[in-house]
Structure 1
Amino acid sequence: MPFHLHFGEADLLRCRFAVSPLWETQEAVRTLKRPARHGYHPQWLRRIRETSAGLDLAAVWLLMPSRGHSPDFLGPPPLGPAASFAEEIAAVRAADPAAARHDMARALAETPGAADSALGRRLLTDPARAVRELADALEAAWHALVEPHWPRLRALLDADVAYHSRRLAEVGLGALLPELDRRLTWESGTLTARWRGLHQRHLEGQGLVLMPSVFSWPDVVSGYDPPWQPTLVYPARGIAGLWAAPDEHSPEALVRVLGRTRAALLTSLAEPATTTALAHRLGLAPSSVSAQLTALRDAGLLVSRRYGHQVLYERTPLGMALATGG
């Protein structure tokens, strides 16, 4: 059953991209429980095997039905284009207990018997305590599952936003939306997503948040009832290579021309990335990476673009030809 988002004229001017570390944390927790999502993440699952062992995620999992409503307050639309996890989890902790109880009750009703289980009853009996415990569980999950890998994840998500922002400028919103995922269609001001669930909403001037996600694959997620801003979460580009180790050996001809560090940086930029992400990926000091990126940019092999607080580097056509031998 599809869901439909109906745009008015004002909504077309109020669409924005965002990245959310809280959302990725919530979806990483969901991915642990769902083998169907493991296809792109076996390396990550091996890396977090030990750190995830001590997590108590039972309450969070109980509120994640296989289909249907999940509590909006646990993963609300991002506060801004580059909100930190600390800012986002503070908003979860500030949730109104009465509203949170209603949200949790809706989610528990999606799974037969969940509301009547001992844990379900405890969540609903003391929603203020439930909000605290759920926020604590998500914060622990962030530190164990996502934070150690955030530079890599953030680089991929920023690269997706950079790419689709350019496409938005080139083709417009109506043409861009179907490009985000093959299950999305656009016709006469209505975005239709052919995915599980049934949801319909008139945006009424709020616009739409477009949010790439690493761990939401293969799902396309939409919803958020008022007062939340409508949001569409789609699988980020490039997740197939997310956990792949960088090539240990740059082409020797390229090494002889550029030097080993600059050659490694150029070949690592198959997708745009930040200085921090590249330093993390290659095991180099950020200051050294910054100096080498500047040299490559000055030589016409890279360009840099600022998106919010991030500066992304990407290869020029000349840089791409050198890196790939094309």
Structure 2
Amino acid sequence: MPLTLDLGTEDLTRCRFAISPLCQTHEALRLLRRPARHGYHRGWLRRVRRTVAALDLSPLWLFIPPPGGYIPDFLGPPPDEPYPSIEDELARMRATDPALAHAEMARSLACTPGLAASPEGRAALDDPAATVRRLADHTEQAWHALLAPDWPRHRAVLEGDIAHRSRQAADGGLDALLTGLHPGIGWAGHTLTLCMYGEVADAQHADGRGVLLMPSVFVWPDVVSGFARPWQPTVIYPARGMGRLHDSGPPSPSQALARLLGHHRAALLTGLTTPASTTELAARHGLAPSTVSAHLSVLREAGLLVSRRAGLHVLYGRTGLGEDLIRGSGAG
């Protein structure tokens, strides 16, 4: 039977989104271990190949078993806030209760026959507190080497997904939101069904905390559940727009749109397949930031773009009118 979660009234009112750089790091590592699932990420994988070869990831590989195996939840616990920093998440990881870490590591090692009895497995379980610290240190190194350089782009895609899902919920309610997350996620009669999973004995059940929804740029084509006790029920799903994250360049605007808006404005509007900052757009289109800023202001005043602050950056994304204009012109 598939994994199901029956949501009560309190759960339905407490469903929330979050972006976790720590979870993204471990999803990236999980992708590196599963070559058959590379799909959209071949460009990123080519770029990081030498970086990966220079990293010592062996302590982490110990707890990333073959597909279908269990990865310890403390490596990427559901965040307590919507937009935690990597520093706060690593601090939380380092503070993991050793007893909980031991239980989750033992379960993970058991997925690979003989691994728990190996010298590496025994050493990890003999001193779980030290193992947690070591895993956190290696995770921090992986973050800085593999994700930090691209994080503004990744975060823009994740925030764009959340903005899109929020509009879905505003237009059609929770039903519209939950039915559109992923083909492998079912929603009917207050029951959330993860078709790619089987029911397990220690699966988390709804207890009024709601479900945490986290978009990911690395989880494709899967959906990952974080239903094991004691963590909040969590669903990690592929972010909308992740397929274009590592495109080599922006798409070209249609001739009709260029005649209407001017080439640069049409190119900027067409290229905003995911939210982006002025600096990123300037680099992508080979324009001065001041020129991009002026064009974005005109497009926003025309109702084609919306802007929102994300930390130190202001991100621009297409409005519904902007999307309609792109589709009507045959661009993008």
Of residues 305-314 and 199-208 in structure 1, the stretch that sits farther from structure 2 once superposed is 305-314
Distance of 1:90 and 1:183 partners within structure 2: 33
Residue 229 of structure 1, aligned match among 232, 238, 253: 232
Deviation of 1:32 (Å): 0.9
Aligned partner of 1:13 in structure 2 is 13
1:210 aligns with 2:223: no
Deviation of 1:223 (Å): 2.6
Distance of 1:11 and 1:307 partners within structure 2: 27
One-letter amino acid matched to 1:37: R
Q: Secondary structure at the match of 2:300?
A: helix
Aligned partner of 2:82 in structure 1 is 81
Relative distance call for 1:126 and 1:210 in structure 2 (3 A) is same
Aligned partner of 1:94 in structure 2 is 95
One-letter amino acid matched to 1:27: E
Distance of 1:323 and 1:110 partners within structure 2: 48
Does structure 2 retain, via aligned residues, the 8 Å contact 1:158–1:273? no
Aligned ranges 1:101-250 → 2 under 5 Å: 101-199=102-200, 200-247=203-250, 250=253
One-letter amino acid matched to 2:98: P
One-letter amino acid matched to 1:219: D
> Relative contact order (alpha carbons < 8 A, sep ≥ 6): 1 or 2 greater?
1
Does structure 1 retain, via aligned residues, the 8 Å contact 2:252–2:271? no
TM-score, length-scaled by structure 1 = 0.90
Q: Secondary structure at the match of 1:295?
A: helix
Does structure 1 retain, via aligned residues, the 8 Å contact 2:251–2:270? no
Q: Secondary structure at the match of 1:232?
A: strand
Q: Secondary structure at the match of 1:304?
A: strand
Relative distance call for 1:163 and 1:309 in structure 2 (3 A) is farther
- Please give the per-residue CA displacement for 1:72-121, whole angstroms capped at 9, x wherever unaligned: 11000123111111111111111122221111111111221110111111
Q: Secondary structure at the match of 1:24?
A: helix
Distance of 1:316 and 1:186 partners within structure 2: 28
Distance of 2:166 and 2:257 partners within structure 1: 31
Deviation of 1:299 (Å): 3.1
Distance of 1:187 and 1:118 partners within structure 2: 47
Deviation of 1:273 (Å): 3.2
Relative distance call for 1:93 and 1:20 in structure 2 (3 A) is same
| Aligned-residue CA RMSD (Å) | 2.5
Report how many residues are paired. Answer: 326
Does structure 1 retain, via aligned residues, the 8 Å contact 2:168–2:177? yes
Does structure 1 retain, via aligned residues, the 8 Å contact 2:241–2:273? no
1:268 aligns with 2:278: no
Deviation of 1:236 (Å): 1.2
Relative distance call for 1:52 and 1:279 in structure 2 (3 A) is farther
- Please give the per-residue CA displacement for 1:18-56, whole angstroms capped at 9, x wherever unaligned: 111111110111111111221111110111112111111
Aligned partner of 2:56 in structure 1 is 56
Distance of 1:151 and 1:245 partners within structure 2: 17
- Please give the per-residue CA displacement for 1:153-174, whole angstroms capped at 9, x wherever unaligned: 1111111111111111222223
Of residues 106-115 and 192-201 in structure 1, the stretch that sits farther from structure 2 once superposed is 192-201
Deviation of 1:306 (Å): 5.7
Of residues 241-250 and 189-198 in structure 1, the stretch that sits farther from structure 2 once superposed is 241-250
Q: Secondary structure at the match of 1:191?
A: strand
Of residues 193-202 and 88-97 in structure 1, the stretch that sits farther from structure 2 once superposed is 193-202
Does structure 1 retain, via aligned residues, the 8 Å contact 2:15–2:210? yes
Does structure 1 retain, via aligned residues, the 8 Å contact 2:116–2:122? yes
Does structure 2 retain, via aligned residues, the 8 Å contact 1:48–1:145? yes
Relative distance call for 1:282 and 1:152 in structure 2 (3 A) is farther
Of residues 15-24 and 54-63 in structure 1, the stretch that sits farther from structure 2 once superposed is 54-63
Deviation of 1:148 (Å): 1.1
- Please give the per-residue CA displacement for 1:240-293, whole angstroms capped at 9, x wherever unaligned: 222112237555676676566534322211233344553564466666644442
Aligned partner of 2:304 in structure 1 is 301
One-letter amino acid matched to 1:240: G
Distance of 1:231 and 1:118 partners within structure 2: 33
Relative distance call for 1:284 and 1:2 in structure 2 (3 A) is farther
Does structure 2 retain, via aligned residues, the 8 Å contact 1:4–1:201? no
Relative distance call for 1:151 and 1:102 in structure 2 (3 A) is same
User: What 5-or-longer segments of structure 1 have no aligned partner?
Assistant: none
